[in-house]
Amino acid sequence: MQFRGAHALVTGANRGLGSHFVEALLTRGAERVYAAARRIDTLTGAVEYHGGRVVPVQLDVTDEETVRRLADDLPDVDIVVSNAGQACKFAVLQEQAEQEFRSALEVNFFGPLGLVRAFAPHLARHRGGILFVQSLAALIISRSSPIYSASKAAAMMLATGVRAELRADGVTVTSTFPGFIDTDMTTGLDIPKASPRSVADRSLDAFAAGRSTVFPDRLAELVENAVTQDMAAVLDDPQAVMTRLVRAFRLDPTG
């Protein structure tokens, strides 16, 4: 997967990890990055600094018709970074409103699904690729927000299916599973956090190498090892596993 001369679409590009994907793609030589967000007026910094190489586009990934129209307007896209996501408030399952679960699924599962359906013909024609931004919560259920974990687990399985379907077309499909990233979403959490730029860079490195999965920070690597070595424990008592991993991570956050 080559970045030089590429035309990339990044969803959720106005802040946090998404904005760093925009910068990282430009640094690697992308000719144009379509920076997408629900509100186009929030896409200011990169647009002002990089001029015509960054094109702001309005996109709500839950609006299927808008996604299809954007794909019609952008036939040159050969890389999609499916980064837009929705967190869920902390609550146990019995106390969470059903609408919150449905809303999380709309953004975290149906949003990426719509992107794939709309842009897959372009990616196949260009032999491009799609990078899915997943979460460790897809692998070890979040005690504070199991609804979020469920939506991300669904997105993980979606990416696996997409990879199998598009392999014959030469389309690269990579899932990245970051842990805690130093963005607005983790404000107030007292835990070491990975820099968003390092997560973006390590994710794109794996994408360029054609890898199917990447664990782009230290906590993610610890989870990868746990899942690989003892999946039975992860499924039986995920909170005990995660407590142990976070304790080890706090003691040695750099590895």
The yes-or-no answer on residue 34 being catalytic is no
Largest Cα–Cα distance in the chain? 51
Amino acid at position 191, single letter = I
Q: Considering 21, 148, 207, 249, which one is annotated as catalytic?
A: 148
* Dihedral angle, C-alpha 62, 158, 207, 137, nearest 10 °: 80
Catalytic residue annotation: 148
